[in-house]
Every structure is written in C-alpha cells, then in structure tokens.
Structure 1
C-alpha cells in the first residue's frame, strides 16, 4: 500500500506540473487501486468471521461485495480518464497547445510497469491459494495498472520524440488506457455479480462433484443436486436415494461419507447439505 501511495502522489503531481493527461490518467487509475487495496484488506478481515446470530451463513459474501466495489472503482476511473482525454482532444482541435513536458512522466510510467507486474503476480497467487474473489479482482487491478503504464510510456515517448506535432499522442495514449481498463472492469463486476445471484460453478466442477457422490458406497441415485459460489468457495446440497431397509444411523453414515467424498474431490467446497431418502421400487 505504501508503494501505491508513493506512485499515485508522484504521478498526479507530475501530471499537473508537466501538463500530461496520460500520466494524470495513470495516477487516477493508481488512486482507484489504492482505494480498492483498503477495501480488500477490510473485506478480508470481515469475510473470515464465523457465523453469528445475525449472519447464520457466515460473512463470505463480503468478499463478493468488495470484488464488486473493485470493479466499480475501476469503471469510475475509466470514465474519468476518457472524459479528460476527450477534453484534451477538444483543446487540440481548437489549436490550443497542450505544452506537454514528457521527460519525467515518461520515466515514472516506465518505472511503474515492473513494480505493478510483481504486485499482480504476488496478489494473484495469494488470491488463488485462498480462493478469495476480492483478492483476485484486486490482482487484476494491479495488472491493469501495469498495462496502463505501458500505454502511458508509449504515448509520452512519442511526445518526447515528435515534439509539439506529436502532442496528440498524450490524450490518445490516455484513451488507450481507458479502452484497456473498460473490459477488465466489466469482467470483474460480471464475475462478482454472478456470485451475488447464486451462479452455479463451472460444468466441469459440477460433473466432478456428481461423480464423487455417485461413487460413494450405499448411494443408489441422486437428484436435486445444486451448487453455488460464495466468496470464491462452493456451497451445495443434494438428495441421495438409498436402500429403504437401512436404519437411520446407516443413512446418516452414508450422508457423512458423501460429504467427505465431495470435500476430498474439491477443497473449495465448504458446505454440503445431504438429504437422505429411501429409493422406491
């Protein structure tokens, strides 16, 4: 977080001092990254809390909400970047010189790329290991920051080499930055919105879980098999048909074996509700 604060502050100051829209855009994107860092850290702390009297199913949805916030902040940053770029193009078309001094902003943008790529890889690794949607979303925010800095560096290099005749490259690069960020923001929002409306896991995952259930001893058949994602994890329930001559205790044992088989097949499954029913006919 300290690294992001330094980068954002330096870029915004440099952007205003040297009149570079693209480095301001890069700084605004970094500022949204900083806001989401705070949100993700707060969300991680809350989402790991156990169930309580007001939240019987725990707090994992908090991670999903934070992921939505990450996507929304990235979308807002994209809108600001595009609006500023349009204003700069308007000034150029009305023969107003932007007077961009590209040297320092160029080196700032260039230095950001490896730093943000390292942050992306580290955060994504932790997010994948923890199966946390908000961490994974924030990792992609870091990757988008690196890509934005590449576009900014290219635009500023063109201004440095071409002088006043190439000043249009600064707002053009800012537009490219916005165009890159837009699909990332939409994808993050879409993925987390899917969790909020109880979207099922991928078909391959469902097939693996169903096979694990059917392989369990004592299971004659299954129906009403349902699953959904919660904070990057999976909750599911299934009706299992068993021999009607079994005792309640034997049925309970089969339910426990089904639960164990599913969680061995996929550690992402955190909740398995098994309903035992007698198989008729």
Structure 2
C-alpha cells in the first residue's frame, strides 16, 4: 500500500503542482524505509525467541527498541528535510501554477487508506504486544494527519491562495519531525526504565 500511495502522491503531486501532496509523498517514502526496518526487527526478534528464554526476551526487547529508535530518527530526518525544502521555496509560492483538483482527490484517498492501515497494524500490535508495530502504526497515523493538512493546503491554493500549499508542506514537515521526536523520547525512556528494572532484579 505504501509503495502504491508513494508513487501516486509524488507523481500526481508533481503533475498537479502541489507541494503539500509532494511532501506527503516523501513522508510515505519514509514509511517504506520504516517498513523495511520493521520487517528486519521482527525477523531478528523471531530468531531470538527460539533461543534460551531469558536471554531471548532481552534480545527481542533490544531489537524492538532499536527498530523504534531507527523509525524515530527516520521521521525526524524526513520532517526536517521537508520543512527545509518548503521554506526554501516559500518565496516562489505566488509565482507557481495553481494546484489541480486531482491532488485533492489523491490526498483524500490517502487519508482513508492510511487510517485503515493504522487500525490494522495497531490491532496486530495489541494482539502480539509488539512495540515496534505500535511505532509503525503511529507512523501510518501520522501520514493520515499530514494528508489532512495537505488537503487544507490544496483547498486554499484552489481558492486562490497559492501560499497555503507551501505552508501546508512546511506544517507537514514539522508534524513529521515532532512525531519522530516524541516516539524516540518515549522509546528511550522505556528502554532506560526496562534496563533499570533488569539491573534491580539482578
């Protein structure tokens, strides 16, 4: 789903002159990288589960913590890059072509698809008690939220305010970076608390 959405967002965002949709497409591209990390982490965790019980659980926790931190770093980097690109093009907002209606249709579809993906992944995460899947689910929810911002920017541009699409792209960058920071901080605190508990138990 992420591969299809990314392709549609970037191609139509470029063709429809929508910086907001392009920024959202870059966010979905980051999702593809995060998906790859999640698959690797889950494979390593599954391998650890076949080893000695206590050691296996510790290793599995470490793999999932590392995966969550990598997703957080990826979100922060993607958000800052999107923000920088949007701000650097802000002065040209009034000189660009108006956003086409096709961008609006794609952005609305992305909201629905990403919210469905969030609910599906979160359901699996709760069933399997996987912290890295929780991180992946919230990553999908961040896409749904950023797509909402993209819709507002596109509507503003179609209404005759070209700057709104660039502002939406900048806001999406900030949202992505903030979500990455929040996820990284929560994962770091959880890992520190778990390490302290293990040390106390020993």
Q: TM-score, normalised by structure 1?
A: 0.65
Q: 1:27 to 1:137 in 2, by over 3 A?
A: same
Match of 1:185 in 2: 180
Query: Cα offset for 1:139?
Result: 0.4
Query: Cα offset for 1:199?
Result: 1.3
Q: Does residue 170 of structure 1 match 2:165?
A: yes
> Which is strand-richer, 1 or 2?
1
Match of 1:248 in 2: none
Choose from 172, 193, 197 the match for 1:199: 193
Match of 1:122 in 2: 120
C-alpha distance in structure 2 between counterparts of 1:188 and 1:236, whole Å? 26
The Cα offsets for residues 174-209 of structure 1, whole Å up to 9 and x where unpaired, read as: 12212322321111111222244x3149xxxxxxxx
C-alpha distance in structure 1 between counterparts of 2:118 and 2:200, whole Å? 31
Match of 1:22 in 2: 20
C-alpha distance in structure 2 between counterparts of 1:86 and 1:128, whole Å? 39
Query: Cα offset for 1:161?
Result: 2.1
Match of 2:11 in 1: 13
Match of 1:81 in 2: 82
> Which is helix-richer, 1 or 2?
2
Query: Cα offset for 1:128?
Result: 2.1
Q: TM-score, normalised by structure 2?
A: 0.89
Match of 1:215 in 2: none
Is 1:102–1:157's contact at 8 Å kept on the other side of the alignment? no
C-alpha distance in structure 1 between counterparts of 2:13 and 2:118, whole Å? 24
- State the secondary structure of the residue aligned to 1:99: coil
- State the secondary structure of the residue aligned to 2:47: coil
Is 2:80–2:174's contact at 8 Å kept on the other side of the alignment? no
Choose from 101, 126, 133 the match for 1:135: 133
Query: Cα offset for 1:52?
Result: 8.3
Is 1:21–1:84's contact at 8 Å kept on the other side of the alignment? no
Larger Rg: 1
Match of 2:144 in 1: 146
- State the secondary structure of the residue aligned to 1:199: helix
- State the secondary structure of the residue aligned to 2:197: strand
C-alpha distance in structure 2 between counterparts of 1:22 and 1:128, whole Å? 32
Is 2:72–2:180's contact at 8 Å kept on the other side of the alignment? yes
Is 1:15–1:21's contact at 8 Å kept on the other side of the alignment? yes
Match of 1:108 in 2: 106
